[in-house]
Amino acid sequence: MPMAMDLSLDKDIRVTLADRDLQKLAMIKSQPGIATLELDVTDRHNLKRAVEPFDLVVLAVPGHLGFGALKTILESGKTVVDISFFPEDLFELDAIAKKHGVTAICDMGVAPGMSHLLSAHAMKRLDETNKVRIYVGGLPKVREWPWEYKAVFSPADVIEEYTRPARLVRDGKLIILPALSEPEILSFPSIGELEAFNSDGLRSLVKTLKVPDMAEKTLRYPGHIDKIKVMQSSGFFCKEAILINQQPISPFEFTSGLLFDAWKMKEGDEDITVMKIEVSGIKEGKSHSIVYDLYDEYDPASGIHSMARTTGYAATMTARALLKGMFADPGVFPPELLAKEPGLVEFILEGLRQRNVIYQETIKQE
């Protein structure tokens, strides 16, 4: 919804919001310049028919629906900006996009998304890059026992972060470690101490960037890792059904159902988004690092949560760039491959800045 509202601010963009949830559609009907459409993206026929009149589609569905929906949209000959973060390999759809002469920018949120774009942007300014570190987390502003965590998207997708093995690059080789591994404590000026753990957030970077040392870590309030590990080791995230009173029950679905309520943002809840990207290497024979820091809060004026702002506005600014013809190569692209286009990163950063999503750049050199 925040993305539709943001795009509708442009008088030359006609926006339609599609969702299968009639209650969500009813919430936005009062917004000027936004039409609504009831749509289930799993219905391929209706999805193809729905996107037919439009020049560009912004896809924002749960991860398990993303790959199939994107495939259908590309087969319909439509350009796409996607933030569904599906687990499948996005490059498997590259041939379809090229066949139809359209562009798909995938993983275009905050992380993955801006994390990838800015990592590649920083690399362009170094003679040699030897290390990339990405730390990112969406957190409630107020810590409440027991979880000290709230999710602005599907709890099932959050649990995937805790269970999907993490791909990292060390000594130039891809390695796989368990999620939640290698915890460390970092200090952030606006928050204090947070704990970081390995998660599978590098995604396409392991293929597209030639850097010998890369990792992405998720940020949570201290103590969160231990709570998740207790649940994990006790089988709460197991997807295979078990029999309880002769009834098959999936522990994963049961846990997701419980956590959906426990982690759901309630009215009045405020969130924050924290990210640090550090790209290190050599420039003109000297050690050189470029750091981007993001600290963003819930916006009380608009009522839009920080994670929705930082993720959604990255996607809407990318959509604007495509509509303006700033990038038109056919195929499927992760965000980092946009960094090669002159002025495109600056266009997105300026648009985010106008929406008060500000990335602070710091240069360290010896």
Nearest alpha carbon to residue 294 among 149, 188, 161: 188
What distance in Å separates the CA atoms of residue 270 and residue 191, rounded to the nearest whole number? 14
Alpha-carbon span 181 to 170, nearest angstrom: 15
Mean pLDDT of 331-357: 97
pTM, two decimals, is 0.92
CA 240 vs CA 157, 250, 322, 347: distances in Å:
17, 6, 42, 46
* 44 pLDDT higher than 90: yes
User: Residue 156: pLDDT band by 50, 70, 90 thresholds?
Assistant: confident
N-to-C CA span, the chain: 46
pLDDT at 96: 97
| Confidence check: pLDDT of 26 > 90 | no
* The pLDDT of residue 21 is above 90: no
- pLDDT value, residue 266: 82
More confident site: 364 or 170? 170
Residue pLDDT, tens place only, 115-145: 999 999 999 999 999 999 999 999 999 999 9
In sequence order, the 6+-apart residues with CB closer than 8 A to the CB of 179 are 161, 162, 163, 164, 165, 166, 197, 198, 199, 200
pLDDT at 19 over 80: yes
Residue 153: its pLDDT value, please? 67
DSSP single-letter state for residue 337? G
Whole-number pLDDT of residue 236? 92
pLDDT tens for 65-118 read: 999 999 999 999 999 999 998 989 999 999 999 999 999 999 999 999 999 999
pLDDT value, residue 104 = 98
- What's the whole-number average pLDDT of the chain? 93
Short-list 323, 341, 321, CA closest to 78: 323
* pLDDT for position 258: 87
Helix, strand, coil % (nearest 5) of the chain?
Answer: 35, 30, 35
* For range 266-272, the mean pLDDT: 88
pLDDT at 208 over 70: yes
Domains and CATH numbers, the chain: 2-109+306-357 (3.40.50.720), 114-297 (3.30.360.10)
Q: Is the peptide bond before 112 cis (omega within 30 degrees of 0)?
A: yes
Q: What is the pLDDT of residue 267?
A: 80
